[in-house]
Structure 1
């Protein structure tokens, strides 16, 4: 039924989705859904929540496809970014839902440490995301697909239609610059957690 869509690029499919083409959305899901689920599961560590994140992300793709700009990112990167945001939102929602007033029990100290650690991890995640946004698009895309999408460098080369050496140099340069940006942020007096026992 969707065989006529198989030859289209992901970007062309997003354009069709923007016009309300449901088969185009289904074709996008077939192409990106497995990687999207893997990304969501890595963030959430829960199958049900990962499925929810992917479902919410593809609903967002359906609603916002008209805003996609092919010049800014590949369609698959755009979709995986939405998936990652939904997964992080679900982590926060679940943490908030599970948060209950603490009774004065021995578990209180462990819960406090856990909350501080979660806050620190959230802070670090935000710092990394801000630093990633400062990278050139090609470097950012390669790093995001490798680390969030789970692609190997060989798979990236094939997916992006670039020589393996180009992918390796993009990732090397991107990671080196990312390290510099994160170090600069630390030197500027970024907040550091005070874990107390």
Structure 2
């Protein structure tokens, strides 16, 4: 593929997926600047590795969610080491009022998703991420499997187990409420 064709293909992928990737980070972060930074970092990593993207191995959406997961993981590691402030101050542009307001709206819109993620904390990490990618992110199970780096069959069984566990949690919560304890 020529450079201009590759750039046009990446631009299409970006336009189709930027909203979903932004929502992914808005479910995890409440600071608009951080959501913007993580989204930008994801697409910088994606365009850098775009020559290695193989559509025959999976969808662009699954590929991008995999990059977003790694971006967020790296951010968490950096934050834990206290280097986040230095990284953010070094060369990041500040968001304009309109951009800030738009990201605040997206973060507010993802509040139910953040609440669901809190309830999902009782699940093993891989099941939690599977539920999020499929039920909040809108990915097909095969795309979620690609993003998580697991076989499709394993993804189906993880989703089944996770949903069964969540039904138990909801049932237990309803029983507690019915008993008047909450």
**TM-score computed with the length of structure 2 as normaliser:** 0.48
Q: Which has the higher helix share?
A: 2
Which of structures 1 and 2 has the bigger CA Rg?
1
**TM-score computed with the length of structure 1 as normaliser:** 0.45
> Relative CO higher for 1 or 2, CA cutoff 8 Å, sep ≥ 6?
2
